């Protein structure tokens, strides 16, 4: 063993001794801060393949969120921010209206918790509303919505209007926890045997940009590092693969639904 190796070994032994015998330091947490941050705090990570200028983030957030009494923004790490709202209502509204995008990149928002450190937070998924287009009314049940949503990720909500077995609307809506490492599925084939299979198209609400080559969030096609194109889900007819058709229009929420209630003619005429 060389003299240098012996020195390194001796230093390591000393360090281990300190770790074993060292006492941890107990500090007092501010109860007021814990309560305030729990009720009004969110931690957000921008899923981007480059560093986004924090001033740009602040400007976009303040304009888009329009909070009634403002929001404090603290940058914790590169592309990771703490948002502290002035009231719980603003926080709830921002979570419900998500996902949000900044410069085309999704902002993954998570609840603030005491003793959390950035490294412990799970930013591996985000909730997204998916519209299921081209499905006939008779298939638009809650049960089917859950089954369809499960093709993409964990189903967290189904938008179901009416009290019948099926939803009287022009598309199904299902909220799914989308894993950011998984590709955004473009749709699926509906088995209509003995008739030919039918392509059912997914449209993702409020998903600004994603890679049209590998179908993943967080980067654009020009900066894609994936080697091969995934074509397993290409349908026989257009649209196919990944593309802009997978983004729901801005009017894609309930406003695009159209239900007319016909009043019965009065028989007392
Ligand atoms: Zn890609």
What mean pLDDT is predicted for residues 6-29?
72
Q: What is the pLDDT of residue 229?
A: 53
Domain contains 50: yes
Structure tokens, 237? 């007819």
CB proximity list for 1: less than 8 A, separation 6 or greater: 9
For residue 269, pLDDT over 50 is answered with no
Domain contains 132: yes
For residue 268, pLDDT over 50 is answered with no
Q: Does one domain contain both 169 and 80?
A: no
Q: Does one domain contain both 105 and 129?
A: no
- CA–centroid distance, residue 218 to ligand 1 (Å): 8
Q: Which of 112, 135, 161 is the last residue of a domain?
A: 112
Domain contains 120: no
- CA–centroid distance, residue 78 to ligand 1 (Å): 21
**How many folded domains does the chain comprise?**
2
Distance CA 145, CA 158 (A): 7
Domain contains 209: yes
Peptide bond into 214 cis (omega under 30): no
Q: Does one domain contain both 146 and 249?
A: yes
CB atoms within 10 A of CB 2: 7
For residue 92, pLDDT over 80 is answered with yes
Cβ atoms of residues 157 and 175 within 8 Å:
yes
Give the range of the structural domain holding residue 75, as residue numbers without chain letter: 31-112
Q: Does one domain contain both 106 and 145?
A: no
Distance CA 202, CA 157 (A): 16
- CA–centroid distance, residue 229 to ligand 1 (Å): 9
- CA–centroid distance, residue 149 to ligand 1 (Å): 22
At residue 114, what are phi and psi to the nearest 5 degrees? -60, 145
More confident call, 264 vs 97: 97
Q: Tens of pLDDT along 150-209?
A: 999 999 999 987 778 888 888 999 999 999 998 899 999 999 999 999 999 999 998 878
Q: Tens of pLDDT along 199-251?
A: 999 999 988 788 988 889 989 888 888 765 555 445 444 455 788 889 887 65
Q: What is the pLDDT of residue 93?
A: 92
Q: Does one domain contain both 88 and 186?
A: no
Q: Which of 112, 138, 171 is the last residue of a domain?
A: 112
Question: What CATH number is associated with residue 82?
Answer: 3.30.70.330
For residue 259, pLDDT over 70 is answered with no
Domain contains 232: yes
Q: Hey, which bits of the chain come out as E strands?
A: 41-46, 71-77, 80-85, 100-102, 105-111, 125-133, 154-159, 172-179, 187-190, 198-204
Q: Which of 112, 144, 160 is the last residue of a domain?
A: 112
At residue 258, what are phi and psi to the nearest 5 degrees? -140, 110
- CA–centroid distance, residue 141 to ligand 1 (Å): 34
- CA–centroid distance, residue 212 to ligand 1 (Å): 7
For residue 261, pLDDT over 60 is answered with no
For residue 53, pLDDT over 90 is answered with no
Domain contains 72: yes
Distance CA 120, CA 75 (A): 17
């Amino acid at each position: 063993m060389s003299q240098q190796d012996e020195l390194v070994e001796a230093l390591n032994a000393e360090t281990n001794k300190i770790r074993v015998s060292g006492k941890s330091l107990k500090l007092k947490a501010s109860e007021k801060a814990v309560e305030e941050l729990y009720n009004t705090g969110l931690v957000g990570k921008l899923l981007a393949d480059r560093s986004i200028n924090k001033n740009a983030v602040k400007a976009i957030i303040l304009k888009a969120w329009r909070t009634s009494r403002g929001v404090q923004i603290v940058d914790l790490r590169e592309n990771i921010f703490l948002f502290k709202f002035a009231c719980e209502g603003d926080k709830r509204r921002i979570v419900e209206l998500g996902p949000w995008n900044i410069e085309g990149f999704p902002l993954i928002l998570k609840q603030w918790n005491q003793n959390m450190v950035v490294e412990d937070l799970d930013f591996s998924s985000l909730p997204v509303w998916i519209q299921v287009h081209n499905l006939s009314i008779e298939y638009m049940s809650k049960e089917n919505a859950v089954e369809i949503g499960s093709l993409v990720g964990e189903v967290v909500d189904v938008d179901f209007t009416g009290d019948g077995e099926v939803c009287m609307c022009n598309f199904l809506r299902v909220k799914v926890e989308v894993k950011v490492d998984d590709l955004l599925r473009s749709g699926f084939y509906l088995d209509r045997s003995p008739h030919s299979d039918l392509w059912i198209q997914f449209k993702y609400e409020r998903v600004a940009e994603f890679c049209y080559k590998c179908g993943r969030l967080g980067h654009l096609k020009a900066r894609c590092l994936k080697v091969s194109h995934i074509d397993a889900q290409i349908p026989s007819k257009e649209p196919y693969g990944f593309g802009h058709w997978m983004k729901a229009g801005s009017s894609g929420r309930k406003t695009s639904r159209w239900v007319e209630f016909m009043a019965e003619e009065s028989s007392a005429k």
